[in-house]
Amino acid sequence: MSALRDLQAAMREAILGGDERAVAREIAGDGLEPSARLGIYRHHVFTTLTAALAGTYPVICRLVDARFFAYAAHCYIREHPPVSPCLVEYGATLAQFLAGFPPCRDHAYLPDVARLEWAINVARHAEVIAPIDRRRLATVPVEDMPRLSFRLDPSLLLLASAWPVDAIWRANQGDAGVEPAVDLGAGDVQLAVRRVGDDVIIRALDPASYAFREALRDGQTLEQAAAVALAIDARFDLTRAIHELLDTDLLTDFALSDTPALVT
């Protein structure tokens, strides 16, 4: 058994869980309680991780105010400490945590705002991938087009919510104290979050366009994705939708599925 492993496990417990008994007897106080010396390390761990979460979730922080955010973050860090030293990856599960966090029970929209902020974080750091080679795409015979499947820009994230989270997010940008009123009963939204240049853009989509992108993202063929969109809205314009994907560089690669086209 490794003494060092035991010591580190005890120190982890002292820092995250607060039970210092096992590690305190290993520490020389040198004029200070071992607990106070441990507290120096604990303070750094919690303040820097709280700052990392506040950086990823600025709107949540503003909605609940900074003091409550620090309290919620403290609880979250104890239960869900980072597993990687790359802190832009930290906080993926904050939305689920807030959904089950009793003090947030009266603010049912908070978890979805957190999901939106996480999507923005992922979009911001997603890999930079070149758009599709249009000349290569143009060589696909017309009759094979229904069997096309695509890879989408990894900075595109799709998010549906029963709350107007895009309006909530926008109302909480800029200077504090000038928040426009948001109608929480405005109905559900289907959003596309995507990095464009140095910015991350949030765009509301109609249900058919949302379902079309979702189907393509999940690897369905053009024909299958079109069927999904048309089932939602018979007026869905496939040609226009494809042009829009191309014109906004949303497609990065394509493949032809082996399944023959269903419709001739």
Partner 1 sequence: MTSAERCAASGPGRTGIGLRAPHVAEIMASRPALPFLEVHPENYMFGGPALAVLESVRREYPISLHGVGLSLGTAGDLDRRHLTNFRALIERVHPCLVSEHLSWSIAGGSYLNHLLPLPYTEETLGLFAGHVEEAQEALGRQLLIENPSGYMRFHHSPIPEPEFLAELVRRTGCGLVCDVNNIFVTASNLGLDAVAYLDALPAAAVGEIHLAGHARNDADGLSILIDDHGSPVADPVWRLYAHALRRLGPVPALIEWDTNLPELPVLLGEARLADRLSAATCGDDARVRAA
Contact positions vs partner 1 (CB under 8 A)? 2-5, 7-9, 11-12, 15-16, 25-28, 30-34, 36-41, 44-45, 48-49, 52, 81-88, 124-128, 195, 198
Q: Closest approach of Cβ 239 to partner 1, in Å?
A: 32
Rounded Cα distance between 261 and 254, Å, is 16
Q: Closest approach of Cβ 173 to partner 1, in Å?
A: 19
Q: Closest approach of Cβ 5 to partner 1, in Å?
A: 4
Q: Closest approach of Cβ 42 to partner 1, in Å?
A: 9
Query: Phi, psi (5° rounding) for residue 144?
Result: -90, -10
| 32 versus 108: smaller Cβ distance to partner 1 | 32
| 113 versus 123: smaller Cβ distance to partner 1 | 123
Q: Closest approach of Cβ 8 to partner 1, in Å?
A: 4
| 27 versus 99: smaller Cβ distance to partner 1 | 27
Q: Closest approach of Cβ 19 to partner 1, in Å?
A: 14
Contacts of the segment 93-98: beta carbons below 8 A, 24+ positions apart: 94/53, 94/57, 94/60, 94/118, 97/72, 98/60, 98/72
Rounded Cα distance between 20 and 10, Å, is 8
| 86 versus 142: smaller Cβ distance to partner 1 | 86
| 18 versus 81: smaller Cβ distance to partner 1 | 81
Per-residue CA distances from 2 to 6, 168, 235 (Å) = 6, 51, 68
**Which of these, 48, 75, 61, 71, lies nearest to 117 by C-alpha position?**
61
Rounded Cα distance between 214 and 225, Å, is 8
**H or E element in which residue 130 lies:** none
Query: Phi, psi (5° rounding) for residue 82?
Result: -60, 150
| 42 versus 107: smaller Cβ distance to partner 1 | 42
